[in-house]
Amino acid sequence: MTYELYIGDRSFSSWSYRGWLMLEKFDLPYTTKLVGLYAGTMADEMTHLAPAKTVPAMVTPEGHVLTDSLAMGETLAERHPDAGLWPADPAARALARSITAEIHSSFMPLRDACPNMIYCTWDGFEPSEAVLQDIKRIEELWALARSRHGTDGPWLYGAYSLADVFYAPVAFRMTTYKLPISEASQVYVNAHLADPAFAIWKAEADKESYDPFPYDLGLTRQPWPSSAG
């Protein structure tokens, strides 16, 4: 009973990382297939996965194709109720679903201005007021989840859940662009940076190279931090 997961370049595809975390973090059996998101071969390599056109895409052991990360998460939670993808407490689960849906569909200024990359960090990035408002809202959601349900562990609801899966790339954006966040938010960001699963993903991403670089901001590049120190 093995899932097939199709992903794009690990250095840049935040949605691919979410799909991979759903399987890796909850010990579900899977194989990974890398498609050429930046090489321009993705469409051809995914023709057999219709209607999927983007990554991640997941094929269930029965051959059902899922084309959206939130649909993937809900399907896995339904199929594996004991895996703990959502918090067990109904109040925590309701809030977790709400804030996960929000990050899935919102925060376009942050997405547009700060493309996901774990390739380097940038000196001198100046966030717009719209980006700062997105950060403020995200920090409010994190603080609410942590204060209500996350006091017994490092994650938003104490134990790792799908909410953390969906906010992981946000933590990386905050790191890549050195965005201004509170001390409490930085602690949560550091938990993602120190996650052993991220170390596995980053090691594979480090094997990728690009010429030209897909997102050259014209700023000074710095190495990605080696730890969450």
pLDDT in tens, 176-213: 999 999 999 999 999 999 999 999 999 999 998 888 88
5-20 residue pLDDT tens: 999 999 999 999 999 9
What CATH topology corresponds to 90-200?
Glutathione S-transferase Yfyf (Class Pi); Chain A, domain 2 (1.20.1050)
Given a cut of 60, whether residue 228 has pLDDT beyond it is no
Please give the sequence-ordered ranges of beta strands (E in DSSP) within 60-141, or none if there are none.
65-66, 121-123
pLDDT band at 98 (very low <50, low <70, confident <90, very high): very high
Given this model, what pLDDT does residue 25 score? 98
Q: What is the pLDDT of residue 63?
A: 97
CATH 3.40.30.10 correct for 3-79: yes
Enter the DSSP assignment of 114. Answer: S
The predicted structure's pLDDT at residue 229: 42
Averaged confidence pLDDT in the chain: 95
pTM, 2 dp = 0.95
- Spell out the domain ranges in the chain: 3-79, 90-200
Please state whether 125 falls in left (phi above 0), alpha (psi between -120 and 50) or beta.
Answer: beta
Is 20 in a helix, a strand, or coil? Answer: helix
User: Are the C-beta atoms of 18 and 56 separated by less than 8 Å?
Assistant: yes
C-alpha to C-alpha distance for 161 and 20, rounded to whole angstroms: 13
State the pLDDT at residue 203.
96
Tell me the Ramachandran region of residue 218: left when phi exceeds 0, alpha when psi lies from -120 to 50, beta otherwise. Answer: left
Q: How far, in Å, CA of 130 to CA of 111, rounded?
A: 11
